[in-house]
């Protein structure tokens, strides 16, 4: 079919995501794939067994649009225990088809033509297209990946009557940095007395290292009252392919979120929801997740000792940035492709997370892998 010349793309600059490109190149070349962020080890066996049992027991039809109430009740208990925040499971928690859907739905519900949304970059790649497809304008603040993370004076200068939303992400993908309590207090002060909505991407909330504490906006009542919090079961339980997430927000915001959610998803996987509700009783899994991934971070970085990469250890997530400026002057996109084809290790060039020009020479590597996978990759990288 040939479309008429009047066809107008809402996303003319958008092509295939870098994650698909680099994972595809890794498959073609047989490279060790440390690009796309997914584990290469199994999910907890008991979670598989629980899901199977609920399937066999007949929990295979639509769940309530908001999500299975047992799961929402368990999530409310969890967030109160971790962050001393109260969310009503009936009206303030919704189960989603992963975090990306939750983020898109939140932006759909609140961003209108001409609204401005402040984004900190490098930024995960699903934020900007969702803003632009709804006629919004992304406004960018570059973070300092090597020092104080955010210059809040720059943010303050961007805020105006058109500012509808600020998107934050902590622990942060791709940098592995985390926002501090001081950052949260400055954000709270900046938004106090405004109608600005905070979209807080906290999908790596349990993957944080070196004794640091996750600063969820839920900890800050004045922030929580204007915030939509996005979380991911996939990151917590190593099952990214299940595409299961959830959001928490005050009732007034959640009403608007659900208006969109019911028409772009309606409901999500029913047996998995029941299984996750029961599995949430295993608190040790998410409470020990930071230590589990810190061991993998430390293993990867130890294996790279003596290499020509510059390493600032990740503070959270399961990503490690490596500075290759002592190895090559190539653009990171070119170097990442050459590294995959000639060296046999796939990564993600960090410049793709920027909309403004950036000359940093960083590649992002995923260490959510078996130690054997990390050893194979490091053996190749230390030779550069």
Number of H helices, E strands in the chain: 15, 13
- Asked whether residue 154 falls in the same domain as residue 193, the answer is yes
- Asked whether residue 136 falls in the same domain as residue 201, the answer is yes
In a domain, 4, yes or no: no
Identify the DSSP state of 107: H
In a domain, 6, yes or no: no
* Cα(271)–Cα(76) distance, integer angstroms: 20
pLDDT tens for each residue of 17-29: 788 888 888 899 9
- Please give the angle made by the CA atoms of 305, 306 and 311, to the nearest 5 degrees: 50
In a domain, 3, yes or no: no
Secondary structure (DSSP) of 131-200: HHHTT-EEEEEE--TTSSS--HHHHHHH--TTEEEEEEESS-TTT-----HHHHHHHHHHHTTS-PEEEE
- Asked whether residue 195 falls in the same domain as residue 279, the answer is yes
With cut-offs at 50, 70 and 90, classify the pLDDT of residue 16. confident
Q: Residue for token digits 């598989």?
A: 48
User: What does each C-alpha distance from 15 to 33, 50, 125, 138 come to in angstroms?
Assistant: 21, 39, 11, 18
Question: Given this model, what pLDDT does residue 9 score?
Answer: 84
Domain end, chosen from 228, 258, 283, is at 283
Q: For 104-129, what is the mean pLDDT?
A: 97
On the question of pLDDT at 321 being above 60, the answer is yes
Question: Given this model, what pLDDT does residue 22 score?
Answer: 87
pLDDT tens for each residue of 56-105: 999 999 999 999 999 999 999 999 999 999 999 999 999 999 999 999 99
How many CB atoms are closer than 10 A to CB 266? 12
With cut-offs at 50, 70 and 90, classify the pLDDT of residue 357. confident
- Asked whether residue 187 falls in the same domain as residue 302, the answer is no
pLDDT tens for each residue of 123-152: 999 999 999 999 999 999 999 988 899 999
Average pLDDT, the chain: 95
| The pair of three-digit structure tokens given for residue 324, joined into one six-digit string | 């290759």
In a domain, 249, yes or no: yes
């Amino acid at each position: 079919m040939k479309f008429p010349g009047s066809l107008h793309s809402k996303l003319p600059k958008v092509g295939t995501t870098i994650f698909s490109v680099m994972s595809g190149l890794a498959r073609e070349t047989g490279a060790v794939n440390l690009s796309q962020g997914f584990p290469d080890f199994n999910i907890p066996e008991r979670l598989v067994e629980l899901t199977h049992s609920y399937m066999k027991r007949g929990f295979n039809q639509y769940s309530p649009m908001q999500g299975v109430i047992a799961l929402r009740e368990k999530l409310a208990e969890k967030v109160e225990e971790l962050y001393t925040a109260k969310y009503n499971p009936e009206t303030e928690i919704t189960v989603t088809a992963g975090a990306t859907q939750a983020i898109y739905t939140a932006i759909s519900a609140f961003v209108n033509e001409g609204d401005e949304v402040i984004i900190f970059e490098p930024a995960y790649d699903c934020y900007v297209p969702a803003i632009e497809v709804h006629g919004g304008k992304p406004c960018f603040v570059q973070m300092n990946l090597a020092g104080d993370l955010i210059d809040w004076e720059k943010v303050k200068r961007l805020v105006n009557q058109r500012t509808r939303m600020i998107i934050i992400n902590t622990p942060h993908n791709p940098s592995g940095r985390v926002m501090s309590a001081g950052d949260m207090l400055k954000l709270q002060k900046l938004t106090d007395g405004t109608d600005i909505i905070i979209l807080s991407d906290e999908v790596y909330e349990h993957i944080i290292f070196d004794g640091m504490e996750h600063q969820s906006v839920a900890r800050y009542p004045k922030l929580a009252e204007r915030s939509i919090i996005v979380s991911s079961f996939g990151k917590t339980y190593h099952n990214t392919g299940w595409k299961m997430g959830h959001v928490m927000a005050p009732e007034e915001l959640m009403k608007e979120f659900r208006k969109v959610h019911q028409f772009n998803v309606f409901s999500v996987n029913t047996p998995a929801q029941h299984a996750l509700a029961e599995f949430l009783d295993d608190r040790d899994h998410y409470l020990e997740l930071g230590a589990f991934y810190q061991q993998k971070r430390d293993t990867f970085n130890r294996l790279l000792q003596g290499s020509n990469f510059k390493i600032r250890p990740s503070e959270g997530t399961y990503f490690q940035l490596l500075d290759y400026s002592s190895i090559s002057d190539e653009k990171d996109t070119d170097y990442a492709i050459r590294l995959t084809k000639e060296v046999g290790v796939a990564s993600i060039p960090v410049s793709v997370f920027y909309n403004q020009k950036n000359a940093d020479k960083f590649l992002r590597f995923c260490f959510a892998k078996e130690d054997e996978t990390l050893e194979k990759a490091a053996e190749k990288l230390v030779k550069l």
